[in-house]
Structure formats: structure tokens, C-alpha cells
Amino acid sequence: MKALPRLVRASARRRLWLTTMAIALAFGGSVPFCWSEPSGQTNEIPVLSSDPWQAKQMIKPDELVKSLSATTGEKPLVICVGFPVLYQGGHIPDSNFAGKPDGIQALKHAVEGVSRDKQIVLYCGCCPCKDCPNIRAAFRAVQEWGFNNIKALYILTNFQKDWIAKGFPIEKGTDHQ
């Protein structure tokens, strides 16, 4: 008779374990899939709770191209916060470089004297935006300095694939500052 309660407890533990695993897979297990390439059926940009920005503070490459090529209105200040070799190999026209090795100090210099209301677009492009530590640190810094119209360029894969390969305009060479 003692075997029956033990069997019931084991069965209950097994059901609890299976239920827990199902819940974990349903919620936690699906997280990596939300970062896969979009199927074209959604326009949402994924934002993690740890990101310093909200979805409305992200700008897609095609939206930035439209903004930069508009004949009216003020153009945003575009700043590359990536690596020099990437910037020199091809960057957004008229963008400033404020990346490694000087990083945050170079960024501070790039926004010196800029109105706190001016739109600033930051981008790196070394890797997917979701993995990039450069863009997060830069975005946080510019926020802390009191700028209130900041956007981060949404890079799904890297600058090469998400900007250059799509035929968006680039310049090669050194900084515009």
C-alpha cells in the first residue's frame, strides 16, 4: 500500500514538471524566435525590457533614408558610434563618427552645442541592434545629457546587409566633424 502514495506523488511531480516545462517553452522558449528575420507581416521593432529606448525611438533604415533625402524640414544629426574601420569602409552620408577608441568622449564632443530638441540618430552596424553594446551605451549617454529627440537606427543584421546591400547611399572615408 505504501507504493501507491509514492506512485501518486511521482505522477504529480511528473505532471508539475511537464506543466512547468510547457509554460517555460511557451514563454521563455519563444524569445529567441522574436529576433529572427521578420516575415514581412509585421512592422514592429522588437524591444527588450533592458533596452534604453522604446519602440518609437527606433528608426528603420528606409525611414532614415526618406528623412535624409527630404527637400524640406530639418535633417537629423546622424552619428556613427561603431568602429573606425566600419565607418571608413562606408557610412551614412554626412554622418559624424563618435565611436571607438574614444567612444563616449567623442560622442560628447559630437553633440556639444547641439539643441536638446534636435533629432539625433545613432547607429553602429557592427552586428544586430539587439546584440550591440555600442548603441546602448551611446543612447544612454545622450539621454543622460538631456537630449529628448534621440533615435537608434534599427539594424537587424549589420550595416552592410541592412543599408549598403539595399542600395542606400553611403560615403567612404573619414569623419565630417
pLDDT of 68 above 60? yes
Please report, for the chain, the start and end positions of each structural domain, with discontinuous segments joined by +.
3-35, 55-164
Exposed, middle or buried: residue 149 (CB in 10 Å: 0-12, 13-18, 19+)?
middle
Taking alpha carbons only, the member of 130, 134, 51 closest to residue 99 is 134
Rounded-to-integer distance, Cα 25 and Cα 37, Å: 20
C-alpha triplet 40, 125, 101: angle, nearest 5°? 165
pLDDT tens by residue, 11-56: 555 564 444 444 443 334 333 333 334 444 446 788 888 888 999 9
* Residue 49, strand partner residues: none
Contact (CB, 8 A) for 46 and 80: no
Task: Give the pLDDT band of residue 174 (cuts 50, 70, 90).
Answer: confident
| Residues contacting 128, CB < 8 A, separation 6+ | 35, 155, 156, 157, 158
Rounded-to-integer distance, Cα 120 and Cα 79, Å: 7
Rounded-to-integer distance, Cα 111 and Cα 146, Å: 11
What pLDDT, on the 0 to 100 scale, is given for residue 175?
55
Contact (CB, 8 A) for 61 and 154: yes
Contact (CB, 8 A) for 99 and 159: no
pLDDT of 76 above 90? yes
Q: Where are the beta strands (DSSP E) in 27-73?
A: 58-59
pLDDT tens by residue, 86-115: 999 999 999 999 998 889 999 999 999 999
| Residues contacting 115, CB < 8 A, separation 6+ | none
Architecture of the CATH domain 55-164: 3-Layer(aba) Sandwich (3.40)
